[in-house]
Amino acid sequence: MTVPAPGGGADTLYAFFSHARLARVMSVTVLATVLLSEGIRPLIGWAGYIGVLAAEAVIMTLVVLARRRSISFSRALPISLAVFLVWSLASVGWSSYAPQTLAGLALQWVLTFLALGVAATRDSIQVIRAVGAALRVTLGISLGLELLSGIIVREPFSVWGISGNIAFGGPIQGVDGSRNALATMAVIALITFAIELRTKSITKRVGVFSVVGAAIVVLLTQAPLAWAACVVVALTGLIIYLLRRVRDSVRRGAQWGVVGVVVLGAVLAWVFRGPLIVLFSAQGTMIFRVELWQRVWQLVQVQPVVGWGFVGEWPNRNLVFGYINSGLSQPHSSALNSYLDVLFQLGAVGLVILCALLGIALVRSWILATWRKSSVFVWAPLVLVTLLVASTLESTLLAEWGWLILVLVVARASRELPWRRDPHSAEEGVAPSPV
């Protein structure tokens, strides 16, 4: 009889959890689970969904521990993100709905840990490939169910809110809860698939089919938000393309010129917001949004500095959120604006911290995209810009999938371009900031 070698079982477990293939599988699984959360919960309930996330968190913990020698823990959690998480946690002290705040915080922290785990165990191109794989699954399932409902079965799938409108050219929402959410994911998918094609991370056939499929989804959602996001992303991509090709000696001055143009563009967009809404055919969706925003603003004025307490997605049974939804044409689970939602939940302090978090991430990713030669670094600023635009008409940054993608972008930008240096880090390609 063969006697197992001492420590053989521990060595086997270590080899299993430290294997790159498991890290790849976990990254895709985590992303697909969260991206499909609106489709999963109606089938297994919140308890089942939380159980899945908890199991993934346990496995991710073991993966991180097994790969700890290759992880720089000093840069694993960006300071700006940590400050936002701490402020959200502190809001339990003055929350008007403490139990719901604790539940919202638990979900937020689990999603943050999973995203940080993916960012720490995979490099930038591997993160992009994981996001691309998860988005192919998400868009494929959404489009498949829409086709099944609208053309084959010709019956709505009420469990997911699918009405079968694809037979009439849309709008569709798939299993993502709303057409705006599906459209935003499709825009991010277009960016991701294009980078995958550019870096030859996938075959040309898969890349072309993926890009065409994502474009079809964007068209079928008929979401005005998607058109606006596509225009802003296209302009951003053009600016990055031009900056990557100018001489190093003039690039810094050109960067400041871009800042001036962006500020001017933001001012003009605000001044001419009415015509822009008409241009993107969004006037039909603004009536109920304005009504909702007015209700939320009334409560913001009561506690403007610290807010009412973090909760993430609004709970159904709560007096505060019940007041907001009372008398409205349809109930809402968010303020349909990330910035107003954060102002409402975490006050002016929370909004300032969030803006700092977004600003630092945008600056880091922008510097990487315009100074590094690899096309991989173009992905982060384009995705971040998509999230920022989508957040003006949806609470995308507080949605589970939106928060997960945001943390991924923030964490990877922090690891690639840290403000603080780790003398013991041997991570390849990390360089000090040029600003």
Helices (H), 171-223: 179-198, 204-221
Q: What are phi and psi for residue 246, nearest 5 degrees?
A: -85, 160
Helices (H), 72-123: 79-90, 98-121
The set of residues, in sequence order, having a beta carbon less than 8 Å from that of 85 and lying 6+ positions away, is: 108, 109, 112
For residue 285, the model assigns a pLDDT of 66
The set of residues, in sequence order, having a beta carbon less than 8 Å from that of 39 and lying 6+ positions away, is: 141, 142, 160, 174, 175, 176
Question: Under DSSP, is residue 417 helix (H, G, I), strand (E, B) or coil?
Answer: coil
Rounded CA gap, 150 and 156, in Å? Answer: 7
Q: How many CB atoms lie within 10 A of CB 43?
A: 11
Which residues face 157 on adjacent strands? Answer: 162
Helices 379-390 and 224-245, axial angle in degrees (round to 10): 150
Length of the chain: 435
For residue 4, the model assigns a pLDDT of 45
Q: What is the pLDDT of residues 325-376, one digit of tens each?
A: 887 777 788 888 999 999 999 999 999 999 999 999 999 999 999 888 888 9
For residue 277, the model assigns a pLDDT of 61
E strand or H helix at 262, and its extent? helix 248-271
- Across the 435 residues of the chain, what is the mean pLDDT of every consecutive 10-residue run? 54 80 92 94 92 95 88 80 95 91 94 94 92 95 91 87 85 88 95 94 91 94 88 91 79 74 73 62 67 89 92 84 78 88 95 94 91 89 94 91 95 81 43 37
Q: In one letter, which amino acid is 274?
A: G
Q: What is the pLDDT of residues 178-236, one digit of tens each?
A: 899 999 999 999 999 999 999 988 899 999 999 999 999 999 998 888 888 999 999 99
For residue 428, the model assigns a pLDDT of 39
Q: Is 317 exposed, middle or buried (0-12, 13-18, 19+ CB in 10 A)?
A: exposed
pTM beyond 0.85, yes or no: yes
Residue for token pair 């957040």:
391
For residue 228, the model assigns a pLDDT of 87
For residue 1, the model assigns a pLDDT of 40
Rounded CA gap, 343 and 345, in Å? Answer: 6
Q: Is 159 exposed, middle or buried (0-12, 13-18, 19+ CB in 10 A)?
A: exposed
Q: How many CB atoms lie within 10 A of CB 382?
A: 24
Of the candidates 370, 385, 409, 425, which has an alpha carbon nearest to the alpha carbon of residue 256? Answer: 370
